[in-house]
A and B are shown apart, each in its own frame.
Chain A
């Protein structure tokens, strides 16, 4: 079970995050979806996910929702990552290595610029 001390740390982290969030409440929320079917996992989806979460931590990116989905029938293109920012249409990326995942987070999610090299046209 999480100890009392770590829960206190968590509450502190929550307070800090809340303060920062109020400052940039205007920014739209981004959703990042990683394909976690058997095909995705075998192709390295967990490493892509790890890179995404680590980039959120190192670059202190707030307001991103990270979720997973099953196989979407494009197994040969796995690992697949989809990005939805605000009202914009969904962008689907294929062959997402940890390096590409970091680029997606920095260039697309934070910078608003689609990473064309790995974009899949559905």
Chain B
């Protein structure tokens, strides 16, 4: 996977499978510390100590269609290649918190990528989950909490065209508010030649 936001989509899938009703995503960029950090915090069914120890092993998964799980090991390897780390803390019945850290300026550090698409995707496809996205960029931060949006909509579906447009612009505004230079295009251009 070529984007951190694709990994985010993938890791959040684990929280959804764990039956979470509330999932919080925290993305932080700190240029002084040269750190890019992402956390996914859920209130799903949690994992035992043994399961946490096993979960970064590519040969363990809770899925039944195949016996090999690759999402977490892939992200862990990507972080470790960039002087970073991946940590999981979890308690059965309480929830799980996964944090991944990268040296932000590392040449191999993947771009954040199309973050807006990932967040829209998660919110629209999982309307019963309460999503909170917070973005910290140096000393600034902004939060998009989808609860007020859902309250305003009542039981009206999120997939209606007018609503989609509205939610997309809200998520975009949240990111722009903190980091006006955040641009999917720049990330894409910078990503292309590296792979050719």
Contact = CB atoms under 8 A, between A and B. Distances in A.
Contacts of B65: 70-73
Contacts of A1: 143-145, 148
B149 interface: yes
A34 B13 CA distance: 13
A64 interface: yes
B166 interface: yes
A66 B125 contact: yes
B164 to A, nearest CB: 5
Interface string B124-153: 111000000000000000011100110011
Interface in B1-60: 1, 6, 9-10, 13, 17
Contacts of A67: 125-126
A119 to B, nearest CB: 21
Contact of A75 (B9, B66, B157): B66
A59 to B, nearest CB: 8
A41 B154 CA distance: 31
A17 B121 contact: no
B71 A6 contact: no
Interface string B154-170: 10110111111111011
28 contacts: A2-B145, A2-B149, A7-B149, A10-B152, A10-B166, A10-B170, A14-B153, A17-B160, A21-B160, A34-B125, A36-B10, A38-B74, A42-B1, A42-B6, A49-B117, A50-B114, A50-B117, A53-B124, A56-B164, A62-B160, A64-B159, A65-B159, A67-B126, A68-B13, A68-B121, A68-B125, A68-B126, A70-B17
Closest 3 CB pairs of A and B: A73-B65, A13-B162, A68-B125
Interface of A: 1-3, 6-7, 9-11, 13-14, 16-18, 21, 34, 36-38, 41-42, 46, 49-50, 53, 56-57, 59-62, 64-68, 70-73, 75
Interface of B: 1, 6, 9-10, 13, 17, 63, 65-66, 69-71, 74, 114, 117-118, 120-121, 124-126, 143-145, 148-149, 152-154, 156-157, 159-167, 169-170, 173
